[in-house]
Amino acid sequence: MALNDYATALVTGASSGIGRVIVERLAARGLRVHAVARRKRRLDSLADKTGCVPHTIDVCDLDAMRKAFTGEEIDILVNNAGIGRGHESLMRASDEDVEATLHTNIDSLFHAIRVATPGMIARNRGHIVNMGSWAGLYGQASTLYGATKGAVHLLNQNLRIELLGSAIRVTEICPGRVRTEFAGKSFRDPDFARRFNKAFRMLTADDVADAVMYALDTPWHVNVTTIELCGVEQATGGVQVKRTRRRRGPAARR
C-alpha cells in the first residue's frame, strides 16, 4: 500500500515546520489532507496553497478530535504535534510546562490513534506515522522532553504488536535537531532559542518530510519501523563525568 493506495490523511501540528511540509507533500500527491493545528490564520493560508481541509483544534482535546474525525476514512495519520517546554530542567519546570508537554507529546498521540485507527482496522488498510526524537532513544539532559519521546518510542513498538495482522503499518521518525519554530515555542529565553537554532547545520523540515514520504511510499508488505536521522555535524554517545560536592554533616561525621 504505497501512497497511490491511500486517499485521505490526517496531519497534526500542521501550521508550521515539519507538519506544514508534510501537508504540502501529501496534497501534491493527490490526497485529501486534514490539517490540524491551533493557529487558524496559518491553517487558512495552508489551505489556500494546498487545498487541504483545515481544522483549528487543540490536539489534546479528545472531544474535539472525535467530533471532527469520527466516521472519516483516514488512511494515513501523521502525529507530528509536539513541544519541549521545561526542556532546560525538570526541577525548574513549572507545573504548566510539565502538563503541557505531557499532554501534547503523549496524550494527543493516543487520542488521535484511537480516533483514526478503528476505521483503518475495519478497512484493513492504513499507516500511522508518529514523530519521535533522538531524545527518546538516547539519554540526554532534557529529562521531561526525553521521557515523553521515550514513551512515543515504546508506543510504536507495542502498537505494531497490537495491530499485527491488520495490514496497518506503524512508523516512528526520530530526528536530531531540526531548524523549525520548535525552539521558539519551547524555550522561554529567546536568546537561548536563537543560539539553539544556530549551533550547527541542522536538519530542515524538508529533510524530515523526505523520511516520512519514503516510509509512506514503500510497498504494502514493507513496514519502515524506525528512521533515525540527524545533521552530519551532530552525534550522540559518550560518557559524562562530573565530580560531586558533598556537604559534611552529622551523618558524614559518623
As annotated, the active-site residues are 145
Contact 116, 50 (CB under 8 A): no
In Å, how far are 179, 187, 205, 214 from 209, measured between CA atoms? 13, 24, 6, 9
Among 86, 90, 82, residue whose Cα is nearest residue 108 = 82
Give the 3-state secondary structure of residue 93.
coil
The conformation of residue 233, written as its DSSP 8-state character, comes to T
Exposure string over 158-178, b if 16+ CB within 10 A, otherwise e: ebbeebeeebbbbbbbbbbbb
Scanning the structure block, which residue is given the C-alpha cell 531540526?
178
Look at phi and psi of residue 7 and say left if phi exceeds 0, alpha if psi is from -120 to 50, else beta: alpha
Give dist(CA 246, CA 254) in Å, integer: 15
Look at phi and psi of residue 238 and say left if phi exceeds 0, alpha if psi is from -120 to 50, else beta: left
Phi first, then psi: give them for residue 112, nearest 5 degrees: -65, -40
